Amino acid sequence: MKAPAKLKPMTGRIPASVKKPMPVKSVSKYSPVPKKMKEGGNWIQGAIKKPGALREQLGVKKGEKIPKAKLAAAAKKGGKLGQRARLAITLGKMNKK
């Protein structure tokens, strides 16, 4: 087996695009990133469009906790119910201190 060939150093003219780093584009007003997230605020509150919709779909009364088993079963389903259940599971993992 042959030893790998050594690379020669670059000589000659280096293209301008390599010399200068490309500027970073600023976030446009049409960005999918919520404004509150850019500012470091409570962006999750803006991400939840219909508070209480998951609870209503699962038939759990207001003020009661949603059982983990019910939430896990709903997360396996498709559509909005599944999306909301998966988001609830993800948000439940946050702020564990």
- Binned at pLDDT 50, 70 and 90, residue 25 comes out as low
67 or 32, greater pLDDT: 67
Question: Is the pTM above the cut of 0.85?
Answer: no
- Extract the tokens encoding 19: 């010399």
Contact by Cβ (8 Å): 77, 88: no
What is the pLDDT of the chain when averaged over all its residues? 78
**pLDDT score, position 60:** 92
Distances in Å between the Cα of 35 and the Cα atoms of 49, 55, 67, 88, 95 are 15, 27, 33, 22, 21
Of the CA atoms within 13 Å of residue 66, those in its CB half-sphere come to 21
Comparing 49 with 15, the larger pLDDT belongs to: 49
Q: For position 45, what pLDDT does the model report? A: 74
